[in-house]
Homo-oligomer: A and B are copies of this chain.
Amino acid sequence: MKTLRKTAKPKLARGLKTRDTILLKAVSIASVEGLEGLTLGKLATELHISKSGLFAHFGSKEELQLSVVEQARLIFVERVITPAHNSTGVKRLRSFYQNWLSYADKSTFPGGCFFTAASLEFDDRPGKVRDQIVKLMKQWIGMLEQAAVQAQSAGDIKKEIDARQFAFELHSLAMGANWSSRLFKDETAFATARRAILQRIDQVSDEQTKRK
């Protein structure tokens, strides 16, 4: 089962390079058009390959969508989670969000954070794609909550803070940045969210662990 913790790539197989190239383009299109807007026809046109060539890799639209979610997961792990691996306590939370803000800004996907878009697109569409997105999003929120609990145990964060609510707050501010950036083409959105998130982390931090 794929989780946010595992970074291992699928086994090498014939045609893997082509599959990787296809999926990177597919994630990119899906971040803008949505996973439902990503059709085999559109993907084939963008890649200048035949639709039957795509069918050899992905038998159905659902299989393509699941592969795109998996590709986006690998990118998220690489860009957001792995670089925070060696931090502990409140520093880990700051690291997660410094990484997330860089990842969600234009550089990774043309349409902003893939998971923010996909999770809203699929919130009312039952099926395997929704199930996988829900699982990954639960893991991410759980990871934030766990980091907050560990920071409390380490004495970095005030004991009276509700770790679950705090994780919800950080995640909401990050999604708000993605929303404002995409909808208003607001170039200050990520800077605003960065200030809001770091201030919120400071508010819950014990005096000695605040940023100097």
Residues of A within 8 A of B (CB): 32-34, 111-112, 116-117, 119-124, 133-134, 137-138, 162, 164-165, 168-169, 171-173, 175-177, 179-180, 182-184, 192-193, 195-196, 203
Contact = CB atoms under 8 A, between A and B. Distances in A.
Copies in the complex: 2
A125 to B, nearest CB: 9
B120 A184 contact: no
Contacts of A173: 169, 172-173, 176
Interface of A is mostly: helix
A151 B91 CA distance: 35
With a 10 A CB-CB cut-off, give which of A33, A121, A180 has the most chain B CB atoms.
Answer: A180
Contacts of A203: 203
A184 B32 contact: no
A95 to B, nearest CB: 21
